[in-house]
Amino acid sequence: MTQPLQIKDVHKSFSGRKVLDGINFSLEGEEIFGLIGLNGVGKTTLIKSMLDLINVDEGAIKIFGVSSKNLKARCQLSYLPEKFQPSRYLKGMEYLDLALSYYGCQLNVEKAQAMAAALDLDPKVLGARVGSYSKGMGQKLGLVGAFLVDAAFLVLDEPMSGLDPSARIKLKEQMLASRAAGKTLFFSSHILADIDEVCDRIGVIHDTKLFFIGTPDEFKQQYREASLEKAFLNSISVGVAA
């Protein structure tokens, strides 16, 4: 099976400030990969580079063996941005219909309602306008759309944003179910306990470098900490060369 993602020697700078410096890694099929890093270190820049939303200065990115610059590369990819904001004038079901139409898929109302329930969103609110939603409800709607597409590769930028503990549990269950169904998931999060719980592998980015790739347990062992949060803080305090 072709790897869902290949990133080779990617560099990116903004106004002379280097953000990504020689990023190299790939994803295997049927895994959940979590990206960890402080605010402003390049996590979203890397994700946008993967989606060809910004141009990299050097390097190559492939999705299922196809250059990310080729529109066809994204046919098997579903994406939820960090700041998800659908039109407030659309009803929830109208947004889902629109999201699926981009992939040439028709909306199945029963499946949409079932996915909403699975992600802790009351299916009844799908008939209401997005403008009446809370932040958490809007985030759940975006997640419903991302999973309904049924793409082989899901990219979720801070998907836990605005979610309460109950919704976070539901989301993690859905992520694990998607992996069990043969899908690959890539996501970033500041909630490291969630990453520790569901990720097969993690990547840790700091000071322009992706300095660790491996399992959460390997990372905790390397930095001699019992929790992923403490291991992360230890890793950036001692420096990338640790």
Per-residue model confidence (pLDDT) at position 237: 86
What SS3 state is found at 189?
coil
By the 10 Å C-beta count (0-12 exposed, 13-18 middle, 19+ buried), 225 is classed as: middle
Measured CA to CA, the distance from residue 179 to residue 60 in angstroms comes to: 26
Question: CB neighbours (10 Å) of residue 57?
Answer: 13
| Segments in the chain forming alpha helices (H) | 43-50, 92-101, 109-118, 135-148, 165-180, 192-198, 216-222, 228-238
| DSSP 8-state secondary structure symbol assigned to residue 53 | S
Beta bridge partners of 187: 34, 156
pTM of the model: 0.93
Per-residue model confidence (pLDDT) at position 1: 63
Helices 109-118, 92-101: crossing angle, 10 deg rounding = 110
Per-residue model confidence (pLDDT) at position 242: 41
CA angle 196, 201, 203 (to 5 degrees): 95
Measured CA to CA, the distance from residue 83 to residue 174 in angstroms comes to: 21
Residue 237, CB-side half-sphere exposure with 13 Å CA sphere: 7
Indicate the length of the chain as a whole number: 242
In the chain (242 residues long), the average pLDDT of successive 10-residue segments reads 92 94 94 94 93 95 95 93 90 96 94 97 97 95 96 96 94 97 95 94 95 96 94 82 42
Per-residue model confidence (pLDDT) at position 239: 59
Beta bridge partners of 150: none
Cβ–Cβ under 8 Å, residues 186 and 5: yes
Cβ–Cβ under 8 Å, residues 76 and 68: no
Per-residue model confidence (pLDDT) at position 187: 95
**Token pair belonging to 51:** 């989606």
**Token pair belonging to 23:** 């990023």
